[in-house]
């Protein structure tokens, strides 16, 4: 199968109540990629600057992640993000963001990736998301993320992107902001009215909800005391979901519900350590063992 992700590849600095990580590998596409790689091979498309450290390139190199779509742009600088979490880690503040190469022309999809069957457009300008989609053969399952900035400043572009994709994975605050609805079921239905055939609303430690035209599914987060750094949880969730959908080759409601479980499990690994330290080590067996543990927990006679 063939799963393509495009999004940020960056250098993060993060402060949580459990410590700090300075200038570590991050970015939405990177978290997504490592989470998805536990389920299926991944094609990564993104741009970094000439300052991108060699040791990060080595970390990215994995036989499960194809880096043919990773462009190193000379004369440009890599995306940087610095964030600080609240004491309960449910909120975070962006202390600094330097778009650098992300503010320039988008990446090109290599011809060999045009036949990708599942595509995740991680958070970026919605016009750029459609530009990426236009470089693919079509007929793929396309899913996007977005953020408060684009909901506020690029509402029309975002509406166009939502009409072009099959699914959207966003968090609760974004769903409410996008639709003006306080009730999350109503918000989800309003997102479906904008075009996609499924929407997933992530609720952090309160789990996630999937809506299709004729179903609503809600699941809790994987219960854990071991939370060191929530960075990348959302992107890892999307990676686990779409990695599974690519592996199983279907996206009907039953598959989407099973994918919801894989997304939850992938996010639960990522938050156990800083940066990619934990999720990078997760093999298919580890993921399946936790999926089994979680589904046992959800089964109530």
> CB-wise, 2 or 259, nearer to ligand AMP?
259
Minimum CB separation of residue 138 from ligand AMP in Å reads 26
Of 26-34, 38-46, 186-194, 277-285, which part binds ligand AMP (CB under 6 A)? 26-34
> Would you call 172 helix, strand, or coil by DSSP?
helix
| Site membership for ligand AMP, residue 273 (CB under 6 A) | no
Separation CA 219–CA 40 (nearest Å): 23
> Would you call 116 helix, strand, or coil by DSSP?
coil
In the set 3, 5, 6, 10, which binds ligand AMP (CB under 6 A)?
10
> CB-wise, 26 or 126, nearer to ligand AMP?
26
Burial class (CB in 10 A: 0-12, 13-18, 19+), 41: middle
| Strands laid side by side in the 19-26 sheet | 19-26, 10-16, 79-85, 92-98
What are residue 11's phi and psi, to 5 degrees?
-115, 115
Separation CA 216–CA 214 (nearest Å): 7
| Site membership for ligand AMP, residue 229 (CB under 6 A) | no
Of 22-30, 54-62, 109-117, 150-158, which part binds ligand AMP (CB under 6 A)? 22-30
Minimum CB separation of residue 211 from ligand AMP in Å reads 20
In the set 49, 167, 188, 232, which binds ligand AMP (CB under 6 A)?
232
β-sheet bridge partners, residue 217: 210
| Site membership for ligand AMP, residue 235 (CB under 6 A) | yes
- Closest Cα partner for 270 from 45, 78, 12? 12
Determine contact, residues 291/266, Cβ cutoff 8 Å: no
> CB-wise, 13 or 62, nearer to ligand AMP?
13
| Site membership for ligand AMP, residue 234 (CB under 6 A) | yes
Q: Where do the DSSP E strands lie in the chain?
A: 3-6, 10-16, 19-26, 42-49, 65-73, 79-85, 92-98, 118-121, 141-144, 167-171, 198-202, 208-212, 215-219
> CB-wise, 196 or 234, nearer to ligand AMP?
234
Instruction: Report angle CA 150, 77, 26 to the nearest 5 degrees.
Output: 65
In the set 16, 27, 211, 242, which binds ligand AMP (CB under 6 A)?
27
- DSSP state at residue 103: G
In the set 81, 85, 150, 274, which binds ligand AMP (CB under 6 A)?
81
Q: Which residue is nearest to ligand AMP (CB)?
A: 26
| Site membership for ligand AMP, residue 52 (CB under 6 A) | no
| Site membership for ligand AMP, residue 49 (CB under 6 A) | no
Minimum CB separation of residue 210 from ligand AMP in Å reads 18
| Interface residue list for ligand AMP (CB under 6 A) | 8, 10, 12, 26-28, 31, 81, 97, 123, 231-235
């Amino acid at each position: 199968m063939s799963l393509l992700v495009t999004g940020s590849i960056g250098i993060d600095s993060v402060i949580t109540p459990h410590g700090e990580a300075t200038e570590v590998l991050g970015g939405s596409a990177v978290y997504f990629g490592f989470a998805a790689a536990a389920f299926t091979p991944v094609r990564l498309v993104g741009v970094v600057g000439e300052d991108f450290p060699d040791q990060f390139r080595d970390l990215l190199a994995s036989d499960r992640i194809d880096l043919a779509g990773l462009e190193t742009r000379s004369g440009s600088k890599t995306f940087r993000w610095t964030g600080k979490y609240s004491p309960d880690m449910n909120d975070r503040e962006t202390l600094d963001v330097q778009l650098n190469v992300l503010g320039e022309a988008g990446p090109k999809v290599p011809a060999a990736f045009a036949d990708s069957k599942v595509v995740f457009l991680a958070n970026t300008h919605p016009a750029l998301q459609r530009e990426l989609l236009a470089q693919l053969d079509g007929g793929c399952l396309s899913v996007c993320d977005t953020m408060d900035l684009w909901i506020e400043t690029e509402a029309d572009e975002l509406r166009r992107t939502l009409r072009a994709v099959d699914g959207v994975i966003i968090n609760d605050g974004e769903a409410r902001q996008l639709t003006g609805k306080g009730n999350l079921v109503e918000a989800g239905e309003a997102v479906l009215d904008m075009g996609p055939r499924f929407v997933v609303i992530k609720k952090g430690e309160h789990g996630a909800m999937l809506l299709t035209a004729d179903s609503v599914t809600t699941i809790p987060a994987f219960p854990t005391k071991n939370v060191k750094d929530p960075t990348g949880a959302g992107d890892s969730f999307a990676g686990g979901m779409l990695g599974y959908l690519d592996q199983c080759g279907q996206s009907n409601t039953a598959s989407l519900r099973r994918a919801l479980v894989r997304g939850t499990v992938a996010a639960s690994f990522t938050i156990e350590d800083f940066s990619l330290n934990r999720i990078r080590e997760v093999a298919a067996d580890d993921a399946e063992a936790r999926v089994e543990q979680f589904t046992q927990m959800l089964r109530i006679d």
